[in-house]
Amino acid sequence: MKEAFDSRYELPDQSYFARKAVPELYAITKDKVVREVAAVNRYATTTDLWSSVDMKPYISYTIQFITEDVMLRSLVLCTSFFPLDPTGENMSEMVKSTMEEWNFKPTPQVCSTTDSGSNIRLQLTC
């Protein structure tokens, strides 16, 4: 297909994307998100456990907030493999490490949406 555009163009190999392009894009995006989240006065969160098609456990952590321009923003800060027991304590540790990674504090959180699972409710109290 690349020949249809310009036969002289050489596609970078996959190691370029894995070692350079994706990490650079991630760093740029993370910097933007960290700055945006730092300006937030109040936010809400959602945490949930789910299984992939092949039954591997994952966890997601999302924040929602209103910007200064009165726009609703929802950012998925973490979706990761979660092989630990799905206890409130383990989930709380993941949330704390995600918050540290994205440089934001728990104090302006105003609410959290849950499915009322006992582990999710316990995670909120840890």
pTM, rounded to two decimals:
0.75
Of 3-7, 8-12, 74-78, give the range with the top mean pLDDT.
Answer: 74-78
What would the mean pLDDT of 53-58 be, rounded to a whole number? 94
Question: 3-state class of 81 per DSSP?
Answer: strand
Angle at 13 between CA 8 and CA 19, to 5 degrees: 135
Task: Render pLDDT for 12-51 as a digit per residue (tens, 0 to 9).
Answer: 888 999 999 999 999 999 999 999 888 888 889 888 888 9
Q: Of 4-13, 37-46, 85-94, which gets the smallest average pLDDT?
A: 4-13
Contact 59, 82 (CB under 8 A): yes
Angle at 117 between CA 113 and CA 118, to 5 degrees: 115
CB proximity list for 92: less than 8 A, separation 6 or greater = 122, 123, 126
d(CA 93, CA 9): 47
Task: Render pLDDT for 92-117 as a digit per residue (tens, 0 to 9).
Answer: 899 889 988 888 777 677 877 777 67
Please report the pLDDT score of residue 120 as a whole number: 67
